[in-house]
Chains A and B, each alone.
Chain A
């Protein structure tokens, strides 16, 4: 059961243009969403996140939009740069089984490979 879906396995964008990566989720309990970026032979690195109380979060060239009614989020990168070429993973979590230590398991999507064309 794939609760977090990234339906585009790959995306190519011209340098300087906007890159839009999409993510859909099925579990309405998810209330915190994250994007991770992964280069080959490296582990994923955190990029940006958004809580369900917001519909937009910006960090420099990166903006994440959340549409709760559609269970959809998107990551916008503008302008796109060659160094943005990587695999991008969407992830989601919800309060779930909380202990004193915190236990908010991340569910990842399958990833979208973004290629920026110089």
Chain B
């Protein structure tokens, strides 16, 4: 079974530039998550999708971050414009149902450096 795919793996941009990350979850998984992991901290949920609908985006900085999952499969997370504090690893995860008792499977992440 293929795992969660993410691209790119690394990205370096200057502040005020835009950047986009892509995620393809495990086939058949209805729930998709985007997390932000700042160095020295644990992953923090940014947004959760159930199929193509948003379930939770309470911690997404909506003035600069946006995400979509148009066909209920793969997803894109965008930052526009980026700030220095956005430097982090962005992790995508998927889960068959959205319940915590079902395992969340994580992708390898995209490491973003904002200069």
- Asked if A43 and B30 make an inter-chain contact with CB atoms under 8 angstroms apart, the answer reads no
B49 nearest in chain A by CB position: A101
Q: Is B17 an interface residue (CB 8 A)?
A: no
Q: Is the interface of A mostly helix, strand, loop or mixed?
A: loop
**Cβ–Cβ < 8 Å partners of B50 in chain A:** 99, 101-103
* A104 and B97 alpha carbons, distance in the complex (Å): 10
**Cβ–Cβ < 8 Å partners of A111 in chain B:** 41-42
- Asked if A43 and B100 make an inter-chain contact with CB atoms under 8 angstroms apart, the answer reads no
**Cβ–Cβ < 8 Å partners of B91 in chain A:** 43-44
Contact count A vs B, C-beta below 8 Å: 69
- Asked if A101 and B98 make an inter-chain contact with CB atoms under 8 angstroms apart, the answer reads yes
* A110 and B50 alpha carbons, distance in the complex (Å): 27
Tally A residues with Cβ within 8 Å of B: 26
Q: If A101-B30, A103-B48, A108-B43 touch, does A44 touch B106 (CB 8 Å cutoff)?
A: yes
- Asked if B97 and A102 make an inter-chain contact with CB atoms under 8 angstroms apart, the answer reads yes
Q: If A4-B42, A111-B42 touch, does A104 touch B107 (CB 8 Å cutoff)?
A: no
Q: Is A34 an interface residue (CB 8 A)?
A: yes
Sort chain B's interface into a size bin.
Answer: 20 to 34
* A9 and B108 alpha carbons, distance in the complex (Å): 22
Complex interface residues of chain B between 59 and 115 (CB less than 8 A to chain A): 91, 93, 97-101, 103-109
B6 nearest in chain A by CB position: A43
B55 CB contact (under 8 Å) in A4, A42, A101:
A101
30 pairs from A and B in contact (CB 8 Å cutoff): A4-B42, A9-B40, A41-B108, A42-B109, A43-B93, A43-B107, A44-B91, A45-B106, A46-B104, A46-B105, A93-B100, A99-B50, A99-B55, A101-B31, A101-B50, A101-B55, A101-B97, A101-B98, A102-B31, A102-B50, A102-B99, A103-B48, A103-B50, A103-B98, A104-B99, A104-B101, A105-B48, A106-B100, A106-B104, A110-B41
